[in-house]
Amino acid sequence: MADVTPLRFAEARHCVFERVRAAGPAPVIEWTPLADAEGRILAQPVLADRDYPPLARSVRDGFAIRAEGFSGSARVIGEVRAGDRFNHEVGPGEAVEIMTGAPVPLGADAIVMVEYVTRDGPMMHTDRRPQPNEFVNSQGAEAAAGEVLLAAGRRLGFSEVALLATVGQSTVPVYRRPEVAILATGDEIVPIEAQPEPHQIRNSNGWSLAAQVRRAGGIPRLLPVARDEYNHTRALVEDGLTADMLLLSGGVSAGKYDIVERVLADVGAEFFFDRVLIQPGQPVVFGSARGRFFFGLPGNPVSTMVTFEIFARTALQLLSGEMDPLLPLTTGRLTRDFRHKPGLTRFLPATLEPEGAAVTPVNWQGSSDVTAMARGNCWMVVGAEKTEYQAGEEIGVLLK
């Protein structure tokens, strides 16, 4: 494989978007009950089945009146609650007591809030001068019948589920979840139930990637660990390429026994990048083979987790049909000074306080330090150009 020029972080992200979006075709559509739709990707637009609201509604408790010619006093001729309708027209000098959410009676076009009204028998009085449509949610103000409410490619959260219920959609067209094959490599890797020798490690990467895939909306398929032997690795890679996407951890560095890139090249892989100027995770590989995208993720656990979140997760979300997947980025204020060498965008374990958005770097021993990663609840994102940050200064944060 010819060397590919290392990319900066933003360039690598752009590459993933560009390649996966260009791949087509659209994912397979299936229908799911609304109760199971949360987290899925909408496959068809959702239209308003009627105007919303279907009638003008009051947004306050108060009195419905005609604004034009209103003198400050009116005779109360009735009451209307949410779920009811007032069956008479409101004339000049008349008012109807109305509750929040109730339909505005015919003839009325403004609401006087109950807080500004005094009652004198059948009369209401106020020193307010209401304007037409004041505190009225007009018919169709939220959405007109036939209007697109949700576009295809939208990930469904609780607010989208509420909207689907509002328009009466008890079943939902969604894209099929992609299957993601996960292949850990290396003779030093043993199953998690094994008692490892001092020179061995348990397969934490397979399990962390399975959790990340599942959280991103995919279906993980864990393959057996690939030994550092060409034929064994190739057979498992070929099996993994039958899934919608293949994730490999380990074997992508320049060591004598790191054979994954050679295997991929021999099965016809095209490599889009094989190094990104980040830490941890520089030797991350992205490409395609036999019509499937793959990522070769560095074997150190923190590198594996980071590179999945910033690259492979995006590819998986695009393959799921999501239109514009975003990184969960925010900012926080550093609790202490921080320095680093320029040239690499760094994603370092940190804790973000629930109040005040204070960010504290977690002391760690490098990209094999899973315990440090588990102690943190986010990654601190350190820019490639800036070398010094002062306590109290804002810095980027990637949420876990």
Distance from C-alpha of 77 to C-alpha of 179, rounded to nearest angstrom: 64
Residue 63: φ, ψ to 5°: -135, 130
- Kindly report the pTM of this predicted structure: 0.88
- Mean pLDDT calculated for residue range 240-253: 90
Using the predicted structure, report yes or no on whether residue 2 has a pLDDT greater than 50: no
d(CA 123, CA 73): 7
Q: What is the residue extent of each domain of the chain? A: 9-28+176-319, 30-51+142-175, 57-137, 329-399
Q: What is the mean pLDDT of residues 342-364?
A: 93
pLDDT confidence tier of residue 252, bands split at 50, 70 and 90 = low
Banded model confidence at residue 261, pLDDT cuts 50, 70, 90: confident
Match 């490639």 to its residue by tokens. 384
Q: Which amino acid, residue 222?
A: L
- Provide the pairing of β-strand 62-65 with 57-58: unpaired
Rounded Cα distance between 15 and 185, Å, is 25
Instruction: Give tens-digit pLDDT for 43-101.
Output: 999 999 999 999 999 999 999 999 999 999 999 999 999 999 999 999 999 999 999 99
Strand partners, 270: 288
β-pairing, 378-382 with 345-352? antiparallel
Q: What percent of the chain has pLDDT over 90?
A: 86
Q: 116, 113, 139: which is closest to 57 by C-alpha?
A: 139
Residue type present at position 97: E
pLDDT at 256: 47
Position 271 pLDDT exceeds 90:
yes
Q: What is the CATH number of domain 329-399?
A: 2.40.340.10
User: How far apart are the C-alpha atoms of 369 and 122, rounded to whole Å?
Assistant: 76
Average pLDDT, the chain: 94
Average pLDDT value for residue range 118-136: 96
Identify whether the C-beta of residue 25 lies closer than 8 Å to the C-beta of residue 201. Answer: no
Which residues are bridge partners to 399 per DSSP? Answer: 378
Omega before 6 within 30 of 0, i.e. cis: no
SS3 213: helix
pLDDT band for position 1 (50/70/90)? Answer: very low
What is the CATH code of the structural domain delimited by 57-137?
Answer: 2.170.190.11
Pick the CATH number of 9-28+176-319 from 3.40.1390.10, 3.40.980.10, 3.40.50.10540, 3.40.50.720: 3.40.980.10
| Rounded Cα distance, 87 and 108, in Å | 12
Cβ 183 vs Cβ 237: under 8 Å = yes
Helix (H) / strand (E) element for 77: namely strand 73-80
pLDDT over 70 percentage in the chain: 97
Q: At the top level of CATH, which class does the domain 30-51+142-175 belong to? A: alpha beta
pLDDT of residue 354: 83
Three-state secondary structure call for residue 41: strand
Grade residue 257 by pLDDT with cuts at 50, 70 and 90. Answer: very low
Look up residue 35 and give its DSSP letter: G
Give 19-41 pLDDT, tens digit per residue: 999 997 778 999 999 999 999 99
